[in-house]
Structure 1
Amino acid sequence: MNRTVLFLSLAGVLALTALVLGLPQVGVPKTQPVVVAHPPPRPPPLTGAPGSLTMTSRLSHPYVPAGSSELFATVDLMGAEVPGARRSPVNLALVIDRSGSMSGYKLAQAKQAARHLIGLMREEDRLAIVHYGSDVKSLPAALATPAQRERMLQYVDGIWDDGGTNIAAGLSAGRFQLSTAQSSFRVNRLILMSDGQPTEGITDDEGLERQVQELRASGITVSAIGVGTDFNEDLMQAFAEYGAGAYGFLEDASQLAALFQKDLQQASTTVARGVTLTFTLPSGTSLGEVMGYNARQSGNQVTVSLPDFSAGQLERVVVRLVTTGQAVGSTVRVTDVSLSYSDLIRQAPVENNAALSAVVTDRQEEVLARQDKDATVYAVRARSAANLQKAAEALRDGRREEAKGYIQQNQVMLQEAGAVASPAAVAADLAEQQATLDEYSSAGSEEELRSAVKKSKVKALKGFGKVGSTY
């Protein structure tokens, strides 16, 4: 890394360190320290009303200086546990890539995983098996009775590798198979597996993403599993996000059975779908960015679409905001948060609301003392995730030293967050960053580099808060 790049990188780290520690931002006047004898208690996190989802929202800085300052809002969503509940019947389509690149070990493992999935199906479940290369073939969906399960196993045995990679045809066939009984099931899910790039049919990312969005709009959830190191991870991640399902990366196809089983469990314990978060920004607050999610802004409202939630599933959204504090001692409304979803336990639509506000102070030590430790760590994890994505792109393009520089920036940010929260709060994060740095240094072959890129992007998704929807 040359001196100019290093200087700019260090400058960025110092600026972010100031943010993490709650130091005055540009345009915020410095004040002389004043000892606070009896500081007021920190405002507690705001928790939404009971339902199949629990919402907890908080600000990184419940106290802000007068003038313009940057802070983070974090929203945690947790799916309700349903002790002793029998899993819901599912209408499932398993769509398997059997193009030429799947020949041998990968296809053998995919077929074994399909057999395992068939064994997990109950008589009230419905399963279609679709496989695609240049063309697409299907075993029509049927209830998983003992006789039908035997037929499904025989069909899987007859799958052989052939042709290119027509993902669009596979998605269309899966949608058709699900649609024939979709209205009879509460949960309709398509699991797509691929090891390569789309080469036939619709091949552009935008067209394929639009196809998945249409699937989701029709009531079908899409999960995407990439196998090996040759597939387009950005495209498969987009499938999972637009399809409100899960994304998984498997370097070794032998793990497919476990992932199919996990996705079936997620589908069959779904407690909420159609989940959206809306941030309403009052006058004086503007959006910096929604970290790691596709968001839509209309006027002063920012909407984020989230995956379907299974029992116990956790997802987090971190939003960077800029707010303006006025009179010292006043309360500034930073943002209102609205959560809406279809509650599959209550069988009814639900909406929860919360408001996040901060107190304006002229005492900088009060800003520091009242900083929310958890929200600060969450915010730094999201910022580190953004750096990790940049590092993965740099590594993919052969800029290894630049990639390592992003990871080193992350280490500095996390250490500063540890000074606010505690070293223990970021110990696992620092260990993971070091492991990534070591992997970047040791990767020699093209295969190892591609693997490191994909692993980094998975870690980034989790760092942004996509915890339950990333395998």
Structure 2
Amino acid sequence: MNRTVLFLSLAGGLALTALVLGLPPLGTPPKPPPGVVVAPPAPPQPVTATVGSLTMTSRLSHPYIPTGTSEVFATVDLTGAEVPGAKRSPVNLALVIDRSGSMSGYKLAQAKQAARHLVSLLREEDRLAIVHYGSDVKSLPSLPATPGNRERMLQYIDGIWDEGGTNIGAGLSAGRFQLATAQGGYSVNRLILMSDGQPTEGITDDEGLTQQARELRAAGITVSAIGVGTDFNEDLMQSFAEYGAGAYGFLEDAGQLATLFQMDLQQATTSVARDVTLTFTLPPGTSLGEVLGYRASQTGNVVSVTLPDFSAGQLERVVVRLNVTDDEVGRTVRVTDLKLAYTDLIRDVVVRSDTSLSAVVTDRREEVLARQDKEATVYATRARSAVNMQKAAEALRGGRKDEAKMYLQQNQALFHEASAVTGAAAVAADVAEQQATMDEYDSAGSEEESRALIKKSKVKALKSFGRLGSTY
């Protein structure tokens, strides 16, 4: 008898025995004896994938969800690969400095000192253009950073003086023109904008100015924006960085400019990814609540989030609130599919990576709570607190200090609620930060102090949303 006939005979015999004895047919898991509780499916775990120069770790705040409709937070961490020193990328850089009348004295002196320090950090394979603007714009054309040219750059910086209004738009246009002269030879092209005031000349509306940032990005140029003092429009400067895929920084003291210029150069020269887009595809049963802290676009069931350029080791986090509906107890439901797409600057290729996040439906409330993901819960709570932090800043701007403190008190309640899941230690620093901010709001007496607090609060909010590497 050959093996096939023997196998079929045995299978038939087993099936007949099963029929006689009342056993389940082959391939069907046996039913548990009465009184035996079967453990539910193991909860889906956080998913980590490294494809190219970015690592993506995604997780759900609630791997187990109750029947009906429930709120779930998806958190996605993206981290740039560490790059050996030999991989440092040459950079085509434009430094655009506000030298309007309000920069007179200490601030302009510190800006010039910071620019000198930046020049000293360049290598011969780098290029730099220096642009300064008031009512008009003046430029030192883009030059390779050879020893002779670095000396010329230093002399040019010494000759910058304060004058006129604040024509940010003209400064951006001049920076773009200078970068374009050598852009084809560089994979990293970056504009660093510095300002201490509101746009008063040229293009002055936010929409027109942010459109310039969009156009710079579309042309392959990254824009970082640094605000100095307390008089600049922080929302506009943040928008420059967001639309320009760069970094945003706030400095109350211009004496720290050199540090931020150096940080931005480090980011530029260790860039590992650009044109980074994260896409959430929502299956039937899942709908979007909100993307916290990022501009997002939605077409049908597809939600897209544009992220900044990534340098080596840079971490950015995206938190999304989703509404999930399902009534089948024990079923594992797909909550969202994720797609990451970007240009890998190390390998000079376009990279795409796909994954998905799922949850198990249960009718046991205690299981939903017991299985809650602690890290995702902390990240989601921080993102939710950032919304209140922004509201508090706007209330303070309007002179409504009690209302501002109310939003911070709401944050204290949010973190207290989270601590029941995560433990008090996991959110202790967050609770302390909210209290410190509340104390600062209490003690702010002058308009200058209030303006500084507004800007500090918005920086804290950006970091709590997850903009960790792109906020200085």
Paired position in structure 2 for 1:308: 309
CA distance in 2, matches of 1:227, 1:136: 19
TM-fit CA distance, 1:84 = 3.7
Partner SS state of residue 48, structure 1: strand
Paired position in structure 2 for 1:401: 402
Q: Are the aligned partners of 2:41 and 2:360 in contact in 1 as well (CA < 8 Å)?
A: no
Partner SS state of residue 85, structure 1: helix
How does 1:232-381 map onto structure 2 within 5 Å? 232-381=233-382
Partner SS state of residue 86, structure 2: coil
Q: Are the aligned partners of 2:79 and 2:313 in contact in 1 as well (CA < 8 Å)?
A: yes
TM-fit CA distance, 1:49 = 3.7
Q: Are the aligned partners of 1:47 and 1:354 in contact in 2 as well (CA < 8 Å)?
A: no
Paired position in structure 2 for 1:155: 156
How does 1:163-242 map onto structure 2 within 5 Å? 163-242=164-243
| TM-score normalised by L of structure 1 | 0.91
Paired position in structure 2 for 1:30: none
Paired position in structure 1 for 2:83: 82
CA distance in 2, matches of 1:342, 1:192: 24
Paired position in structure 2 for 1:92: 93
Q: Are the aligned partners of 1:99 and 1:165 in contact in 2 as well (CA < 8 Å)?
A: yes
Q: Are the aligned partners of 2:51 and 2:351 in contact in 1 as well (CA < 8 Å)?
A: no
Paired position in structure 2 for 1:105: 106
1:122 aligns with 2:156: no
Which amino acid is 1:414 matched to? F
TM-fit CA distance, 1:284 = 1.2
What whole-Å deviation, never above 9, does each CA across 1:195-247 have from its counterpart, x for those lacking one? 00000011000110011000000000000000000000000001000000000
Alignment gaps of 5+ in structure 2 = 1-35
CA distance in 2, matches of 1:315, 1:94: 25
Q: Are the aligned partners of 1:282 and 1:335 in contact in 2 as well (CA < 8 Å)?
A: yes
What whole-Å deviation, never above 9, does each CA across 1:281-311 have from its counterpart, x for those lacking one? 1111111100000001111111000000000
TM-fit CA distance, 1:423 = 1.1
What whole-Å deviation, never above 9, does each CA across 1:401-458 have from its counterpart, x for those lacking one? 0000000110111111111012111111111111100000000000000000000000
Which amino acid is 2:69 matched to? S
Q: Are the aligned partners of 2:99 and 2:132 in contact in 1 as well (CA < 8 Å)?
A: yes
TM-fit CA distance, 1:325 = 1.3
CA distance in 2, matches of 1:343, 1:87: 14
Q: Are the aligned partners of 1:102 and 1:161 in contact in 2 as well (CA < 8 Å)?
A: yes
What whole-Å deviation, never above 9, does each CA across 1:338-371 have from its counterpart, x for those lacking one? 0000011121100011111111110011101111
Indicate the larger mover: 402-411 or 414-423.
414-423
Indicate the larger mover: 79-88 or 212-221.
79-88
Question: Which structure carries more relative contact order (alpha carbon 8 Å, separation 6+)?
Answer: 1
Q: Are the aligned partners of 1:99 and 1:132 in contact in 2 as well (CA < 8 Å)?
A: yes
1:67 aligns with 2:68: yes
CA distance in 2, matches of 1:415, 1:401: 21
CA distance in 2, matches of 1:226, 1:375: 32
CA distance in 2, matches of 1:92, 1:172: 14
Indicate the larger mover: 447-456 or 321-330.
321-330
Compute the RMSD of aligned alpha carbons: 1.2
CA distance in 1, matches of 2:360, 2:453: 44
CA distance in 1, matches of 2:52, 2:151: 40
CA distance in 2, matches of 1:260, 1:155: 18
CA distance in 2, matches of 1:84, 1:184: 21
Q: Are the aligned partners of 1:125 and 1:143 in contact in 2 as well (CA < 8 Å)?
A: yes
